[in-house]
Amino acid sequence: MDFDRTAEYAHKHSEEAGKKVRKMIWVIFWVLLAVTAVEVTIGLVWQDLGLNWSLVKWTFIILTLVKAYYIVASYMHLGGERKNFKMVVLIPFIVFAIYAIFIFLFEAMHLNLTDLMPLAE
Helix 15-45 and helix 53-70, axial crossing angle in degrees, nearest 10: 170
- In this structure, are residues 62 and 42 in contact, taking their beta carbons and an 8 Å threshold? no
| Residue of 68, 89, 79, 64 lying closest to 24 (CA atoms) | 79
For another protein, the closer CB: 36 or 51: 36
User: Which spans of this chain sit near another protein (rule: CB under 8 A)?
Assistant: 2, 4-15, 18, 21-22, 25-26, 29, 32-33, 36-37, 39-40, 43-44, 57, 60-61, 63-64, 67-68, 71-72, 74-77, 81-82, 84-85, 88-89, 92-93, 96-97, 100-101, 104-105, 107-109, 111-112, 116, 118-119, 121
